[in-house]
Amino acid sequence: MKPAKLHYWILGCFSMALCCWCTSDKFHQSDSHPHTWKKLYLAHHWPVTVCKTAANDCQDPPEYWTIHGLWPDKSEECNRTWHFNVTEIKDLMSDMRRYWPDVIHSSLNRTHFWKHEWEKHGTCAATLEVLNSQKKYFGKTLELYQHVNLNGYLQKAGIKPSSTYYQMTAIKEGLTKFYGVTPKIQCLPPEEGEKAQTIGQIEFCFTKELQLRNCTEPKGESSRLQTDLQLGTRELSVCNDTLPVYYPSQVQHRK
């Protein structure tokens, strides 16, 4: 081999080796990548609480817990070019409208809520093969919702909407004992003049193998991003164990 050709051959081999080393290092450091996640949150919300401060066409909300979303922790909007296409979930439409409705905007023709959930969360969950299409993502979320059957558990436990208050610890301990894992429960904080928080959302966590796991984080680890549900000027936050809990049975708009 001539010296000139040998020089270019060696240079080319060195460049390829350097490229492979960089790629290997990139994957080795993948835990710090912004789109890396470790668990999924299946969020149920209570439609009456969702409507509590909504100043729009939120009327006659379902009287059962509905799906808010399926959210990977620590990642959002992983592929902004992968747009929502409602035709991909046309076979799921009946269950979507029943169990995953847009509570605030009740028109059956509205799909903005599902679009938001797919583009913000579904595009990140799609790193799993079982969630790597819109039909798989929405379909599997519906399956998990049915598997958890939160409505069925609450009914059996006698925890139902009431004008009387519940103790937060009783609800939390009951859920943990029944499911064998610790969920994340969120409430609206008391308004001025109120003494009770209002239950609004219950989240169950799943591993990447879609097995239930605790939602609690080890000390030193941060939890998922703040919930994207905001009601009026108030946001849901983790319920206070020391405050009574209101589980409202009907919408009572502020005057």
Active site residues: 68, 117, 121
How many whole angstroms separate alpha carbon 206 and alpha carbon 197? 27
Q: What is the DSSP letter of 118?
A: I
3-state class percentages of the chain: helix first, strand second, coil last, to nearest 5? 40, 15, 45
CA distance 200 to 192: 18
SS3 211: coil
Contacts of residues 234-237 at CB distance under 8 Å and 24 or more positions apart, as own/partner, are 234/53, 234/188, 234/189, 234/191, 236/186, 236/187, 236/188, 236/200, 236/201, 237/186, 237/187, 237/189
Give the containing element (helix H, strand E) for 150: helix 150-156
Is the four-CA dihedral 129, 76, 104, 151 of positive or negative sign? positive
Question: What residues contact residue 50 under an 8 Å CB cut-off, 6+ apart?
Answer: 58, 61, 103, 104, 200, 229, 231
